[in-house]
Amino acid sequence: MMAKKKILAVPEGGIFLKRDVEILKNHFEVKTAPTFNRKKPISSIPSIFKILKGTLWADVTFSWFADTHAFLAVLFSKIFRKKSIVVVGGYDVEKLPEIGYGAMRNPLFAKVVKFVLKYADKILPFSDFVAEEALSISPNSNLDIIPLACDTQKFVPGGQKENLVLTVCHIIKTNIARKGLRTFVESAKHLPEVRFAIVGAHVDESINYLIKISPPNVGFTGFVSEEELINWYQKAKVYCQLSFQEGEGPGGAIGEAMACECIPIISLEAIALREGAGDCGIYVPYGDVGATVEAIKQALNSSPELGRRARERMRNMFSMEKRDNELLRVINEVLK
């Protein structure tokens, strides 16, 4: 019996990497290594050696995001003639000074990203939009677009939908503008009879600002378990993702909400989210409270069929099985 090929996955702990690790374990022997925290370089030195040791053990390194850990994995892979794969999307390839977002705003870190994009054996953007961003940084990158997957067996509809409008994200200063949270709570002021909720951990003091500008019909849950999150999706008829920009496409909260038959309302600027939602979404200009209010009214008054179509889109186009097959294909190609 042929021995399984070995994969080092970094950084351990991220939710998206965890999902991919579960997929990879079906086909390969997998170990993980921690990230290198650029804000705490001294305490992160042991992670350098763990990535080095893991690279020496592995046939291929598999990194999520073109950050310092990916730089180390790609560098060590080159030195020791191993293969390297890096999943990219969102912050690592963005430069959005107008909202203070994106790794490419930092000249030093931009060099890290460019190195990863240039020297990794395969770059895996998870949307067409992210692929274009990556190519604008490194035109000769070897790309293969593999969308993120949604677990439609875990995220399922259940119970009666309510007049509830939901958004899910960490409440942190950078997300006020990037996730359109101000637009979300401002829209709630025009629909006092409708319940709104922001689900997600309160990371910094920006929660106080949001509470101050929010009407009484907006609730803040703080951190919730996955089981509680699914319950929120199941109750909400409408899910808003009013972001200035997103890279993740259907693999994050938008896909989970759609799998639970929520009707998605998405900003026109969030191109990757539009790729995921397709004709199941209702689209509004970023920051346009009036258009968002009208879209919410439309969604609340719409037939349940639109929510069912949203779920079917996730099942048919963004299944875990599809990502499993695509990752297996790419890794086998890289290892030839």
Say if 278 falls within a structural domain: yes
Asked if residue 247 and residue 100 are part of one domain, the reply reads no
The pLDDT, as a whole number, for residue 286 is: 96
| Mean predicted confidence (pLDDT) in 296-322 | 94
The answer, yes or no, to whether residue 331 has pLDDT greater than 60, is yes
The pLDDT, as a whole number, for residue 89 is: 84
Domain containing 270 equals 162-317
CATH number at residue 30: 3.40.50.2000
| Mean predicted confidence (pLDDT) in 150-155 | 93
Asked if residue 206 and residue 125 are part of one domain, the reply reads no
Say if 287 falls within a structural domain: yes
The answer, yes or no, to whether residue 111 has pLDDT greater than 90, is yes
Say if 157 falls within a structural domain: no
Asked if residue 216 and residue 133 are part of one domain, the reply reads no
pLDDT tens by residue, 224-264: 999 999 999 999 999 999 999 886 667 789 999 999 999 99
pLDDT tens by residue, 29-58: 999 998 887 778 788 889 999 999 999 999
Say if 155 falls within a structural domain: no
pLDDT band at 2 (very low <50, low <70, confident <90, very high): low
Asked if residue 12 and residue 37 are part of one domain, the reply reads yes
Q: What is the 3-state secondary structure (H, E, C) of the chain?
A: CCCCCEEEEECCCCHHHHHHHHHHCCCCEEEECCCCCCCCCCCCHHHHHHHHHHHHHCCEEEEECCCHHHHHHHHHHHHCCCEEEEEECHHHHCCEHHHCECHHHCHHHHHHHHHHHHHCCEEEECCHHHHHHHHHHCCCCCECCCCCCCCCCCCCCCCCCEEEEEEECCECHHHHHHCCHHHHHHHHHCCCCCEEEEEECECCCHHHHHHHHCCCCEEEEECCCHHHHHHHHHHEEEEEECCCCCCCHHHCHHHHHHHCCCEEEEECCCHHHHHHHHHHCEEECCCCHHHHHHHHHHHHCCCHHHHHHHHHHHHHHCCHHHHHHHHHHHHHHHCC
